[in-house]
Structure 1
């Protein structure tokens, strides 16, 4: 035979072998419709089975594509759990005198600043004058310099001048249990139970088992239009934002603050863009604005509020060429504080513009995602009158109280003293946890289930398809790469078959 005839024979034999391989696979595969198509004697039955196979396969792939699209949306399920826990950690409690300045030390200095800047009470509404006077006087003290910080502390009230009595779970607590926390809005604030390493534990519900503080405002009402204390209940790892949070507690009252907790745990990427505080280095590399606030501001724990404050500060700097003393302060900058009257007015105008222009604040929200883990303290407040005439007489006989309260008659205490009770009203907390609505394992199970339902296929069926692919490849390899032409001519088609055929 000539070469062309041999090539034709080889080609026909290869095609015949491939057909035989495919037919054997179709008759034995677990995907049932293929075998029924081959075995059917009637052309009509074959057409019906073919239509059924195509329809089932098409709908199967439609469902699989829908499932893959749903999986790539990375949606979450939210689960609410009530978790009972005793003992549990008691929160940090920060108190601030609503009267920022002790007039014994600051009155003359405030008046000197106002006279120098020509700010007078008859030039504006009373409440506006108080705000302006306070802002103009406090601005220079927010300079990061040590000396200026100490002067701000000096002009405020010290804890020994305000704390009449302190009890936690019916036991005495002392000034040493509080940490100084100075800030722009209230000057000297003091935080109870701030140590993250030695957090006090709470063991029993009820008002007498929490924190009880008997406080004195100082008896001075200079450059302020309100008296009392600001109370912040927060997690030890969080710094309160004094301009947005907290409860005002009035003098002449006992204020009970019953607290409960909610733990919010979000899933991070790819389910959301929230920030994990235990993986800040990752966001330092991937988020340019996070890198900016990490580098330029002094923070150790990310929160959405902190990021928004930094974004507002960044906007004010761009508009006023100075930084606002009311906001988070940069670590190092060549810019100065916004101290002059014109600069302060610029910060106020820019603040209003920032919150009123949707495109500006939306841009900041895009830069500032939520934190993934958060503790929310819910507070229920109730009040009663304080003190009674009998109790004021009792205070008058106490040498310990007289060291703080210079006058202890009923009228004076009603105007300058108060009691705060902070306690848990339940021994459980709510946990809101996110979980993937579909995991990768769920995706595989759904795909496998659809193939099994509509096609009758399984993972082993795909193994059979892989096997037939390699058998067909083997046929072509045998055809083109067998270099012994004599053997190739003598080879019988049945010798090429695999044992399974």
Structure 2
């Protein structure tokens, strides 16, 4: 190999000497160069140029293992060659001017301009990515029109228990009812002398009143209320509740509900108002609906409530004629004196499949009235993470067979926290037991230590427990309501209603109804009209302020603005990086 290279070098040297002498003679004789051009070209095609051969030998040596090894020149020279080739071919603005210019000041100016453009581009891109990853959003409202599925409606008589059924209640509940004597309370009210209350300390004071402080002879002690008072006075030092005590009127109602909720489910069903008594007439869009369309809901505050939810109820026209109409009989003679202090119903209008909470979400409707509740539908859609946290209803439906609402989730989380920390279950939220089952092996929270634990969990729960997050639903239907009412029925129509009721009631009940004066007759009835005011509905949806498509478009515009590159031009940079990596790899391979 070396011998062959030496021979080539020798021949090349001789040819070079011969060529030099010929050229000298030509220059001396002033012969035109074209006279020897054709022979020179033929000679060069058959010979190895010495400078090219020397460069090849200096740069690359092919050894027997096939590896590449650089024998002459530095790494910097190789890098410069790669960058020089890139500068010749790239469409990146300014690079050609830096290379092509022979003036150093011009090179410096173009280098500064290119650096400034790249810096501005980086700042611009940083601003865009910051804006994109802020995940800002806005709300978009669209109006649509179509026939609408009717919401679920829950109706509760405000009287939790029928007085005629009190003998079927437990002994403690009967004793409480017997101890509440309105006549005795009236006698005490006559002798009541108001005093000033300084219990809050300092100059803060107010006039005591009879409803806050009347007393009754009751054998039942409400440990739950005692536990709450103890929690406020001993544990919750900053709570405003510790500055006052529970009023007597609230205590009576609280004690009654506590004892009523301790009755078995079967007993509570019997004690409460029955659907065939409460619902005297039902129609949807002018067509009669059946009592079988109603299902019972156990309410902590109202006893038996009834839910009408039928997926075939579709409103095809707006107004009262296209909605639900109910005629309700309140059985006010069954109201328990001293416990039920008003007449009427509680109505909840809610999304089908959700759990209603009449005390928290209900509308109070007075007795002796016809009430019109007009609805407007708002369908809300949220983006979810990372724009705003929301909960999909699918997993909730799978687990509980109910549509997700934030209120339901919070109550379930609170109940689960009670079970986990107090090792018992809270029986004060009857609505939940239509969703979650009573746990096996756990007893209700009734002794003082358990109720103290329940009070702590309930009053400290703020819905931020990371193990049980309750976000807004990702999609929900909200019903905006407008309410109007008028006195109803007229005395003559009330007599007609009573006559219809007497056909199904015992004679004793019928005689009581007929002997009532006109005012009391009217207060036994309510007419309820629920309908859509308009079949137009709003779609309120969250939209991204800065979409991925906009980001990509802005990236291209920014790079093109500052350094003049397109998407394809970016691959020039990719190619440059690839060549540099390949070059470094060859150097490393050659060193080994």
**TM-score of the two chains, using structure 2 as the length reference:** 0.68
Is structure 2 residue 576 aligned with structure 1 residue 468?
yes
Distance 2:540 2:179 in 1: 51
Q: Identify which of 120, 135, 158 aligns with 2:274.
A: 158
CA 1:73/1:279 → structure 2, altered by over 3 Å: closer, same or farther?
A: farther
CA 1:385/1:442 → structure 2, altered by over 3 Å: closer, same or farther?
A: same
Residue deviations 1:344-401 (CA, integer Å, cap 9, x gap) = 974884477336xxxx5544797322221121111111110111123224435x5367
Equivalent positions of 1:187-198 (< 5 A) are 187-192=303-308, 194-195=309-310, 198=311
2:26 is matched with which residue? Answer: none
Distance 1:323 1:247 in 2: 29
Tell me the CA shift for residue 62 of structure 1.
1.3
Distance 1:439 1:6 in 2: 56
Residue deviations 1:142-175 (CA, integer Å, cap 9, x gap) = xxxxxx2222111111111112221211122221
Larger displacement relative to structure 2 (123-132 or 444-453): 123-132
1:122 is matched with which residue? Answer: 216
Tell me the CA shift for residue 250 of structure 1.
0.8
Larger radius of gyration: 2
Q: Identify which of 313, 327, 337 aligns with 1:214.
A: 327
Residue deviations 1:249-301 (CA, integer Å, cap 9, x gap) = 110111111111211111223333321122559xx9xxxxxxxxx6xxx5643
1:91 is matched with which residue? Answer: 151
Distance 1:41 1:386 in 2: 101
Q: Which runs of 5+ in 2 are unaligned?
A: 7-53, 61-69, 181-214, 219-246
Q: Identify which of 453, 459, 469 aligns with 1:353.
A: 459
Distance 1:417 1:314 in 2: 40
Distance 2:453 2:316 in 1: 47
1:457 is matched with which residue? Answer: 565
Tell me the CA shift for residue 337 of structure 1.
1.6
- Confirm or deny: 8 A CA contact 1:322 1:343 kept in the other structure: no
Distance 2:171 2:367 in 1: 27
Distance 1:475 1:128 in 2: 87
1:27 is matched with which residue? Answer: 88
1:254 is matched with which residue? Answer: 370
The Cα RMSD (Å) is 3.5
2:349 is matched with which residue? Answer: 233
Larger displacement relative to structure 2 (443-452 or 252-261): 443-452
- Confirm or deny: 8 A CA contact 1:308 1:364 kept in the other structure: no
Q: Identify which of 122, 143, 152 aligns with 1:82.
A: 143
Distance 1:170 1:369 in 2: 39
Residue deviations 1:184-212 (CA, integer Å, cap 9, x gap) = 222211111x24xx331001111232111
- Higher RCO by CA contacts (8 Å cutoff, separation 6 or greater): 1
**TM-score of the two chains, using structure 1 as the length reference:** 0.79
CA 1:438/1:366 → structure 2, altered by over 3 Å: closer, same or farther?
A: farther
Distance 2:261 2:485 in 1: 35
- Confirm or deny: 8 A CA contact 1:316 1:322 kept in the other structure: yes
